[in-house]
């Protein structure tokens, strides 16, 4: 589906969407974790933490009735008209309207994978811009961590969302915002380096002086301005100043937008920091596409970094065998019609 997203931007140039508010987060189940990677799940907690209720479709009888449930915390999403807590239960992502400030109150600053006990109820909210429309939503009233999550943390994943600009459902990058709030400088450097040569929904734009610049999702999320900016380059070169190989790589900065014929992109990024060993492991699922040749390649990559208080070095990088696939550039064409000739 992400190839449809790339094609749509090539043939139907659209405006940048990041500044627009959305009304409700349309969440579909994201892709699973890296192959053989065991993420923190509820299965091993079920016997100790049996939920008091089962979250399912809205039942009018339950309106305003207080309920409790146990969820695995995923993230907060605050870029909508209402703020949402996203959790996982029984393999499904669920969203709840919330109203506390997790950036100021550490009791609510959960990490991905934390097991949380929530109290919630069905409630009604008015739709922004059209107060005559009232919609039922699950509203969480209280949340408490009952078990710490297990690393690795999922820094990036993908979900399928409807894009109004191209009139189609596309695969979009989602970055773990709550992790970013407490990210350490070495983690920031490791992720910034991994994303340096890989596309992450990069779009051309103009700055206030009319200069053409390339904004990328991960670069912006890490507060490194835009691709190849002085902010980004100075930060990475400082942190990797004792790594000669990485320093050489940082001498030439790539600028590849998401409309490029040949490009790579992330499907998933997991990060794990070992404070005892002073190492950071970044595991990525990556796709590369060549639209001219109608081919794609998929692989996983594991980068191991060693860090100190002021510097970081890439000490090992492993890449899996590439899996090649053919791309159907016209997925909606009539196969029966083609076979008739």
Among 166, 162, 251, 258, smallest CA distance to 204 is for 258
Among positive and negative, which fits the CA dihedral 321, 326, 332, 336?
Answer: negative
pLDDT tens across 177-191, in order?
888 888 999 999 999
Among 62, 69, 70, 102, smallest CA distance to 84 is for 102
State the chain's mean pLDDT as an integer: 80
* Top-ranked range on mean pLDDT: pick from 1-15, 116-130, 205-219: 205-219
Predicted confidence at residue 148, as pLDDT, reads: 78
CATH numeric code, 65-147: 2.40.50.140
pLDDT at 166 over 80: no
Predicted confidence at residue 311, as pLDDT, reads: 97
d(C-alpha 322, C-alpha 299), whole Å? 5
Six token digits for residue 227: 């691709």
Indicate whether this model's pTM tops 0.85: no
Six token digits for residue 72: 């695995």
* Beta bridge partners of residue 283, listed in sequence order: 270, 302
pLDDT at 283 over 90: yes
Burial 294-305 (b: 16+ CB within 10 A, else e): eebebebbebbb
DSSP letters spanning 167-205: TEEEEEEEE-HHHHHT--HHHHHHHHHHTSSSBSS-EEE
pLDDT at 43 over 80: no
pLDDT at 21 over 50: no
pLDDT at 309 over 70: yes
CA 128 to chain centroid: 25
Predicted confidence at residue 36, as pLDDT, reads: 41
pLDDT at 270 over 60: yes
Six token digits for residue 179: 């992790």
Q: 128 versus 269: which is more confidently predicted?
A: 269
What residue ranges of the chain are covered by domains with CATH 2.40.50.140? 65-147
The pLDDT-based confidence of 129 (bands split at 50, 70, 90) is: low
Q: Backbone phi, then psi, for 299, in 5-degree steps?
A: -155, 165
Among 52, 38, 59, 237, smallest CA distance to 149 is for 38
Six token digits for residue 73: 């915390």
Strand ranges in 46-186 using DSSP code E only, listed in sequence order: 67-77, 84-89, 92-97, 115-127, 130-147, 153-163, 168-175
What residue ranges of the chain are covered by domains with CATH 3.10.450? 183-326
- Strand bridging mode 84-89 / 67-77: antiparallel
- For range 51-73, the mean pLDDT: 66
Q: 22 versus 214: which is more confidently predicted?
A: 214
Give 87: exposed, middle or buried? Use CB within 10 Å, 0-12, 13-18, 19+.
buried
The pLDDT-based confidence of 27 (bands split at 50, 70, 90) is: very low
- For range 251-280, the mean pLDDT: 92
pLDDT tens across 316-340, in order?
999 999 999 988 766 555 544 444 3
pLDDT at 284 over 90: yes
d(C-alpha 53, C-alpha 56), whole Å? 9
- 183-326: which CATH topology? Nuclear Transport Factor 2; Chain: A, (3.10.450)
The pLDDT-based confidence of 90 (bands split at 50, 70, 90) is: confident
Q: 152 versus 278: which is more confidently predicted?
A: 278
Give 283: exposed, middle or buried? Use CB within 10 Å, 0-12, 13-18, 19+.
buried
Predicted confidence at residue 217, as pLDDT, reads: 94
Percent of the chain's residues with pLDDT above 90:
45
H-type helices in the chain, by residue range?
2-11, 177-181, 185-194, 217-221, 230-239, 244-249, 335-339
């Amino acid at each position: 589906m992400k190839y449809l997203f790339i094609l749509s931007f090539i043939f139907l140039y659209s405006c940048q969407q990041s500044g627009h508010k959305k009304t409700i987060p349309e969440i579909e189940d994201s892709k699973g974790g890296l192959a053989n990677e065991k993420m923190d799940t509820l299965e091993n907690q079920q016997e100790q933490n049996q939920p008091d209720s089962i979250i399912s479709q809205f039942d009018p009888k339950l309106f305003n009735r207080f309920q409790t449930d146990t969820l695995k915390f995923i993230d907060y999403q605050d870029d909508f008209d209402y703020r949402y807590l996203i959790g996982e239960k029984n393999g499904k992502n669920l969203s709840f309207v919330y109203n506390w400030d997790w950036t100021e109150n550490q009791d609510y600053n959960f990490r991905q994978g934390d097991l949380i006990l929530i109290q919630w109820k069905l409630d009604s909210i008015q739709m922004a811009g059209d107060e005559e429309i009232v919609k039922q939503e699950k509203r969480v009233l209280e949340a408490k961590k009952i078990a710490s999550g297990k690393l690795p943390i999922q820094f990036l994943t993908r979900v399928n969302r409807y894009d109004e600009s191209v009139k189609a459902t596309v695969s979009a990058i989602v970055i773990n915002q709550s992790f970013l709030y407490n990210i350490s400088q070495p983690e920031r450097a490791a992720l910034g380096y991994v994303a340096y040569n890989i596309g992450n929904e990069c779009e051309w734009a103009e700055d206030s002086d009319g200069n053409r610049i390339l904004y990328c999702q991960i670069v912006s999320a890490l507060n490194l301005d835009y691709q190849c900016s002085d902010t980004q380059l100075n930060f990475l070169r400082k942190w990797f100043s004792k790594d000669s190989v990485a320093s050489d790589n940082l001498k030439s900065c790539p600028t590849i937008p998401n409309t490029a014929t040949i490009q790579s992109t992330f499907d998933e990024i997991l990060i794990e920091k070992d404070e005892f060993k002073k190492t950071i492991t970044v595991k990525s699922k990556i796709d590369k596409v060549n639209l001219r040749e109608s081919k794609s390649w998929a692989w996983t990559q594991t980068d191991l970094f060693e860090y100190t208080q002021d510097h970081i070095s890439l000490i090992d990088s492993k890449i899996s065998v590439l899996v090649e696939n053919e791309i159907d550039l016209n997925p909606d064409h009539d196969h029966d019609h083609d076979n008739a000739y």
